[in-house]
Amino acid sequence: MRYREDNIMDDNVMDNNIMNEQLLGTEESRLPKVIVVDQPYTDKFPLDEALKKGTLFPNLYDPYMVGKKY
């Protein structure tokens, strides 16, 4: 009986490891992950400026600039 319980526990640990591998990848092969930061509602560009900049939200305005470090 004891032996059987150990086996069940081992099976659960193994299932968890497989699940983790599927979710996170292994050390050798990490899967890509996407992290999205919540956008706070703060201020807005004046509408003529927004139309030219391509966004209403100053906190999303981040145009690509040659030479800028990203």
For the chain, where are the alpha helices, taking DSSP H only? 2-24, 47-53
Contacts 24+ apart (CB under 8 A), 25-30: none
Least Å distance, CB 48 to other proteins, is 6
Residues 2-61 that bind other proteins (CB under 8 A): 39, 41, 43-48, 50-51, 55-58
Which residue bears the tokens 């150990």? 6
Residue with smaller CB distance to other proteins, 27 or 43:
43
Which residues of the chain form contacts with other proteins (CB under 8 A)?
39, 41, 43-48, 50-51, 55-58
